[in-house]
Amino acid sequence: MKNRLILPALILGTFLLILYFAYPLKGFQADSRINDFLPDSLTNKDESDMETINLSEEEWKKRLTPEQYQVLREKGTERPFAGLYWDNHEKGTYKCAACKSELFSSDTKFDSGCGWPSFSDVSSSSAIELRKDSSFGMIRFEVICKKCGSHLGHVFDDGPEPTHLRYCINSASLHFKKEEKKP
Ligand SMILES: [Zn+2]
């Protein structure tokens, strides 16, 4: 009786092992890995009471420069090492260029070498929303301003401690407010 059970058990065990190892290799690996790093508040879309701005694309076109419009509203990407803020080391806050919602602090900005302003954390998790982006054959997380729905950049899991996140943000999506020196 025992001998009869060994073969089916071995087959079942092998099958389960194959399933366990093969499943993540089918493109889900990066996805689940970055999910481990992201705070729950960012991946679980909680409907917070933050007021949102809904403007027509015509209105946005009037308010923004052509470059800002292309990045913020059409999900464009500026050229690396070309934006206003990738090499900015001044102290202050970075706001959304479209709606002026506060997004990042200079305290979390770091030199990533990628040519875009990089931050290890957001000022408040309720300021942004993350959306899975599968364009260009990659699985990435798009960073969106929660208040106005504008595209800001992407977040990756190769940032410094303690978050291990790298918010790679277009300068064109940001408006820098320099910290005022106390008298
Ligand atoms: Zn905004």
82 vs 37, more confident: 82
Asked if 115 contacts 81 with a C-beta cutoff of 8 angstroms, the reply is: yes
pLDDT tier for residue 39 given thresholds of 50, 70 and 90: low
What's the 152 CA to ligand 1 centre distance in angstroms? 9
What's the 95 CA to ligand 1 centre distance in angstroms? 8
Provide mean pLDDT across the span 1-18.
Answer: 74
CA distance 136 to 178: 36
pLDDT tier for residue 14 given thresholds of 50, 70 and 90: confident
Q: Is 168 marked active-site?
A: yes
Flag the least confident range among 5-14, 26-35, 114-123: 26-35
104 vs 12, more confident: 104
What's the 17 CA to ligand 1 centre distance in angstroms? 46
- Write out the residues surrounding ion ligand 1, Cβ under 5 A: 96, 98-99, 101, 145, 147-148, 150
What's the 13 CA to ligand 1 centre distance in angstroms? 51
Could you tell me which residues come within 8 angstroms of residue 62 by beta carbon, excluding any fewer than 6 positions away?
A: none
How confident is the model over 128-145, as pLDDT tens digits? 999 999 888 888 999 999
